[in-house]
Amino acid sequence: MMEYLEKTFRWFGPDFGITLNDVKQTGATGVVTALYNVPIGEVWSREEIKRLKKKIESSGLKWSVVESVNVHESIKTSSANSKEYIINYIETLHNLSENGIKTVCYNFMPILDWTRTDLFFPLKNGSYSLRYFKSAIAAFDLFLLNRKDAINNYNSNTIDEAKTLFDNLSEEEKGTLKDTIMAGVPGTRDVFSIEEFKSRHAEYISIDDIQLKKNLVNFHKKVIPEAESIGVKMCIHPDDPPFSIFGLPRVINNISNIENILRKVPSYYNGLTFCSGSLAANPKNNLAKIFRLFSERVHFIHLRNIQLEEDKSFFETDHLNGSINLAEIMELIIQEQLRRYSEGSRDVNIPIRSDHGPLMLGDIKLKEKFYPGYSTIGRMKGLAQLTGLELGLRHKICS
């Protein structure tokens, strides 16, 4: 009998409002997590990995995927000390492999991880979600960050809208906008200061998309052979959003760029995290076509839905309602499972998680405890919806 998709749940640790027992009650069997206490670029020790794995397993769960072993900015910019950080990265992969953890999700986004402008955007049903509003990004860029040449990245309508929006913000609202955009890395509550962001941004002045691709390929040429030798599947996460913000380059954002990066180091272990919500934020991206083309190299799946708005704005929605046809995507995933099963692949039960989820019901009162987008009930609802979708389509396809 073919295995179902492996249901997983991202866990940032008990400091973010969710226990492992909570995770177990969601229906997930796997945990997606990382050593968030270790500074980016430092080696994850065998002992710390083993300790966290034992804690997860003692709760009756499995540590299925690492998300993320973050890539140090020195590697992305290919600065003088990048070799040292690549060596550290490889050592971490070896330590994970020795503990039986074989799937690693990571991204190559400059400075910031996923970026939003509103963490509590009200939906019609009374729940809250995450929103990316281009005019708010422009307002921050032009009037808070005061980035040189920022005016060249926006059309006149967006600039006018940004000025109107900014002029109507209170000082407190300006601070909230800054903190929302400058949130650093998932798993921490750190927020970049304007000065720190400017300093990091300056390191990318001479780095465009072409150069960032070269730096990523250089990283892959050193890391992927090591990962292959120890059986660790590397799966790069698409840029979120999949277009330039603040003049920074983006290189995992469309079908041609993904193909280029996977082709340059053509190993099964150089794979992709298929994230529906990230890719769909650019309406030019054909999600079904992207999945079909790279399905053999998809090692991890994030499914969420978004509602596209005008001019590259969007907000996150219920998993089964939005601009993305997740039923079509789920059907393609099951077909890929059937292919793997028929060919005797060991990677049939691909790990999947409900990516983000609305803040709803009792979790609304606890909103300050959760990492944004990662409350319990909304993600549990999403996981249930995806599980039902999978079972219904599997019955249709396999009967």
pLDDT digit string, tens, across residues 220-252: 999 999 999 999 999 999 999 999 999 999 999
**Is 32 within 8 Å of 187 (Cβ atoms)?**
no
The pLDDT of residue 186 is 76
Catalytic hit among 128, 132, 371, 374? 374
Side chain identity at 2, as an amino acid letter? M
Q: Which residues of the chain have pLDDT under 70?
A: 1-2, 184
Q: Which residues contact 379 (CB under 8 A, 6 or more apart)?
A: 9, 10, 26, 353, 354, 356, 357
Catalytic hit among 239, 355, 363, 371? 355
As a whole number of angstroms, the distance between CA 122 and CA 354 comes to 20
319 catalytically annotated: no
201 catalytically annotated: no
**Is 237 within 8 Å of 105 (Cβ atoms)?**
yes
Could you count the other beta carbons within 10 Å of the beta carbon of residue 284? 9
Q: Which residues contact 77 (CB under 8 A, 6 or more apart)?
A: 203, 204, 207, 215
**Is 215 within 8 Å of 152 (Cβ atoms)?**
no
128 catalytically annotated: no
Q: What is the dihedral sign for C-alpha 214, 215, 221, 225?
A: negative
End-to-end CA distance of the chain: 13
Within 13 Å and on the Cβ side, how many CA atoms surround 256? 4
Q: Cα 331 to the chain's mean position, in Å? A: 22
Token code pair at residue 340: 């793997």
299 catalytically annotated: no
Catalytic hit among 72, 204, 356, 371? 356
Q: Cα 60 to the chain's mean position, in Å? A: 26
The Cα-based distances of 298 to 33, 204, 289, 291 in angstroms read: 19, 30, 13, 8
Catalytic hit among 275, 299, 318, 371? 275
Q: What is residue 18's three-state secondary structure?
A: coil
Token code pair at residue 125: 């049903």
Catalytic hit among 72, 220, 237, 319? 237
pTM over 0.75: yes
The pLDDT of residue 2 is 63
